[in-house]
Amino acid sequence: MMLLRRDGLDVIAIPQPSHTWLSGQMARAWGNEHFATPMPNDEVCLAAEQHDIGWLDWEMTPALDAGSGLPQEFFRVPSELHIAIWRKGVRRARVFGRYPALLVSLHADTIYARHFDFAKASPENAEAVRDFLGEQHRFQARTAASMQADPKLAEQASPETIEHNRLLIAALDRMSLEICWGVKKEIKIQNVPTAGAGTTELRMQPRDGEDIVLDPWPFRTASVAVRTEGKRLRGRFATEADLHRALDEAEAALVTAVLHRA
């Protein structure tokens, strides 16, 4: 699922791993008196940066959306393929360790809870998603129990801390998506975890050029500059071979933003 950012007549196609790199940049800057610094820091920042690692192979040769002539976007990926991608992502995250893998698995849970409508899905797709989530829930329970039994990780693997980190990954993911698409109007992000046990709503407002104002402010410094990279596509494509050739030859396009306190 490439993210498509309109730029005049062109489209900047941003791969999922590039979007998650941006999430990782924000995770490393996160934390002040009102918003808790990620903990365990290295593991949470790594999970933020790798939460879409399952999409890596797909992004090398993305499918063509025949209707638009552009790379297929995430909401058009067939359910069976979407599940396979997320299953692969959790398996790949396990290479980094238990905590990142747990957070990637929990993010899959979050994605399906927010975006999958069991009532509108076919019985086959609904059953496949239930099977996948059941598999992930068993993995999550085993992994959390393993870390809670480890004296070096027990405090950071409490149910409360794990849930805090799940919400943080979800917030960073949404913020990164909006930056990649381009913030043109106020964006409201719900359930952002704070320094205490609660959550808050975070608002993103466009300002001049690449500047974006955040309220409340979740970072340590007065401003945070982030960047990622996409590929500039000119025109539309009739075949996947044409699309892949264009992506291989495309001009790199830097996507930048500077986040500011309100």
Query: How far is the C-alpha of 168 from the C-alpha of 226, rounded, in Å?
Result: 18
When divided into structural domains, the chain yields a total of 1
Question: How sure is the predictor about 77, in pLDDT bands with cuts at 50, 70 and 90?
Answer: confident
Report the mean per-residue pLDDT for the chain: 95
Radius of gyration of the chain measured on its C-alpha atoms:
19
- Does the structure show a pLDDT above 90 at 196? no
Question: How sure is the predictor about 78, in pLDDT bands with cuts at 50, 70 and 90?
Answer: confident
Distance, C-alpha 97 to centroid of its chain: 19
Tokens of 72: 């297929």
The count of other CB atoms within 10 Å of the CB of residue 246 is 18
The sign of the CA dihedral 258, 175, 207, 200 is negative
Question: How sure is the predictor about 73, in pLDDT bands with cuts at 50, 70 and 90?
Answer: confident
Q: What local confidence, expressed as pLDDT, does residue 76 receive?
A: 73
Furthest CA-CA distance within the chain: 57
For the segment 198-207, the average pLDDT, to the nearest whole number, is: 97
pLDDT tens sequence across 203-227: 999 999 899 999 999 999 999 999 9
- Does the structure show a pLDDT above 80 at 74? no
- Sheet containing 251-261: which strands, arranged edge to edge? 3-7, 10-14, 223-233, 251-261, 211-215, 199-206, 187-193
* Residues of the domain holding 83: 3-261
pTM here is 0.96
pLDDT tens sequence across 89-124: 999 999 999 999 999 999 999 999 988 999 999 999
- Does the structure show a pLDDT above 90 at 2? no
pLDDT tens sequence across 124-172: 999 999 999 999 999 999 999 999 999 999 999 999 999 999 999 999 9
